[in-house]
Structure formats: structure tokens, C-alpha cells
């Protein structure tokens, strides 16, 4: 039982010392404000990962979304970026979409998302 306990607790070690502020959440969300066909943006922390969920009403050029995703992480404090990994999940409400869903991932040691 101790084996499982120690492995799970190390995943969230020092988590209480880090917080995504309301301002950071708001600034990350606002990065996507001018995106065509934007339906919804959500930002929250799950374990040691900042998760961004982007829902589009219809397809948007992936390159544009990737650029905005990379810009959005500039709204997060350097302290948090060195601690948290960041994931972005993008889906389109267009059921015929050939582009989405997509997932981007940024390890805490990187400066941009990998798709």
C-alpha cells in the first residue's frame, strides 16, 4: 500500500505552493477572444497539468489556433510554467470536421506546444 501512496503523492508534490490566479485564467482565455467560431474556453488545473479546453463552432485554420495556443502560455507566470505541464484540447462542433479534435502538449521544460 505504501508503494501506491508514495507514487501518487509525488505527482502532486508541492502543488499547494502553486496556484493559477484568476488573472492568469482570464488572460489565457482572452488570448482566444478574436478567434473565429469560438464557442467556449475553459482553463483549470488537474494534478500538475494546466488544461485548456477550446470548443469551436466550426473549423478554424489549425495554424492560427496553434499560434494562439503558444501565445496563451505567455499569460501564465514563469513560476507556474516551470512547475506545470500544459495541455490544450481543441474540438469543433462541426461533426464533419477533418481537422479537429486536436491535442497540444507543453512539457514544463518547453516553450511551445507539441501537436
pLDDT digit string, tens, across residues 31-78: 999 999 999 999 999 889 999 999 999 999 999 999 999 999 999 999
* pLDDT range class, residue 11, cuts 50, 70, 90: low
Q: How many CA atoms lie within 13 A of 115 on its CB side?
A: 12
Name the residue with higher pLDDT: 98 or 7.
Answer: 98
Amino acid at each position: 500500500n505504501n508503494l501506491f501512496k508514495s507514487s501518487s503523492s509525488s505527482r502532486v508534490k508541492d502543488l499547494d505552493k502553486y496556484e493559477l490566479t484568476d488573472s492568469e485564467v482570464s488572460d489565457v482565455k482572452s488570448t482566444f477572444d478574436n478567434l473565429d467560431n469560438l464557442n467556449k474556453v475553459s482553463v483549470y488545473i488537474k494534478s500538475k497539468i494546466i488544461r485548456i479546453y477550446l470548443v469551436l463552432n466550426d473549423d478554424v485554420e489549425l495554424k492560427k489556433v496553434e499560434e494562439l495556443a503558444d501565445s496563451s502560455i505567455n499569460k501564465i507566470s514563469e513560476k507556474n510554467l516551470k512547475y506545470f505541464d500544459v495541455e490544450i484540447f481543441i474540438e469543433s462542433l462541426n461533426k464533419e470536421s477533418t481537422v479537429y479534435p486536436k491535442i497540444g502538449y507543453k512539457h514544463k521544460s518547453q516553450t511551445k506546444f507539441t501537436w
